[in-house]
Amino acid sequence: MASGLSLPRPSRPELLVALVAGDSGLSRRGLTALTRLRARQLEIQQGSRGAFVKLVPNAAPPLLSLGQIGRDSPLSCDYHSLVVLELAREFPAHGAALRGLIDARRHGLDLPALAFALWQDEGDLHFESACRPFGCDPHLLAATLCLALKPLYELVARSFSQHFELPQGGTECPVCGGTPYARCDEMLRCAVCEQTWQGELPGPWREVEGPQAKGARRLYQSQTGQRLLELEESLFAESFNTAMFVELLLALERDG
């Protein structure tokens, strides 16, 4: 199936940034960078009009292979360059290392193959092996690639759900197999592709200690430690997973 990527409706990234500010550990600078990065992702999505990705659904969930989509999409390298350059502007102390990722691609680093390796069991080994000849940081490359491909995953999932009826009731995303990071009543939202589906998560769930934002409760599963945002409907509709942003930005703040 060749799928045109549908455009997202406008979002308000500052809403979810505010919700994670209390326990993210990010500085004001980091939170500002998070907001700008998400705004940049939405701009990238808006600029992807007319892009096509060949979708080959699986017979059972997860219905799509995000590794295959990242490998085959003509947008992957451009998305990565835009995010890396944005981070280099926000964190000039890391500019050389970040721009070195783009230089490595120019000299033969196979980014599409690594987009596929992100979803393989031994993906870390693939990144280490691929980065060694170019002297670039495999962890930085993997983190920036995940962040860069998130808009693509979201667009593909949104387009796919418009053409196919998604199975409901599971605890994992029916599109990509990701875990939920937010819920509203019986609706769950995927941490990877932001697809929503109806499902029920096993408990018990307890409130995270500390202040809670209005319209949002931070929860954790006492047996597994899994985190979850319980959001009111208006926030759920605008939500996006901040975890991969926070992890990378914390590392850049710590080392810079």
Quick one: average pLDDT of 158-177?
93
- How confident is residue 31, by pLDDT bands cut at 50, 70 and 90? confident
For the chain, domain boundaries: 2-11+22-168+242-255
Q: Distance of CA 152 to CAs 66, 71, 94, 113, 224, Å?
A: 9, 11, 25, 16, 30
Whether the pLDDT of residue 13 is over 80: the answer is no
**Strands of the 196-198 sheet, one edge to the other:** 196-198, 187-190, 180-184, 227-231, 216-221, 205-207
Q: Is 193 exposed, middle or buried (0-12, 13-18, 19+ CB in 10 A)?
A: buried
Secondary structure string (H, E, C) spanning the chain: CEEECCCCCCCCHHHHHHHHHHHHCCCHHHHHHHHHHHHHHHHHHHCCCCCEEECCCCCCCCCCCHHHHHHHCCCHHHHHHHHHHHHHHHCHHHHHHHHHHHHHHHCCCCHHHHHHHCCCCCHHHHHHHHHHHHCCCHHHHHHHHHHHHHHHHHHHHHHHHHHCCCCCECCCCCCCCCCEEEEECCEEEECCCCCEEEECCCCCEEECCCCCCCCEEEEEECCCCCEEEEECHHHHHHCCCCHHHHHHHHHHHHHC
Other Cβ atoms less than 10 A from the Cβ of 2: the count is 7
Whether the pLDDT of residue 125 is over 60: the answer is yes
155-166 pLDDT tens trace: 999 989 988 899
Other Cβ atoms less than 10 A from the Cβ of 211: the count is 8
pTM score, two decimals? 0.88
- Distance CA(231)–CA(112), nearest Å, equals 35
Angle at 136 between CA 139 and CA 122, to 5 degrees: 45
Q: What is the distance, to the nearest Å, from the Cα of residue 3 to the centroid of all Cα atoms in its chain?
A: 20
Quick one: average pLDDT of 28-37?
88
Other Cβ atoms less than 10 A from the Cβ of 125: the count is 12
Please give the pLDDT value at position 12. Answer: 53
- How confident is residue 6, by pLDDT bands cut at 50, 70 and 90? very low
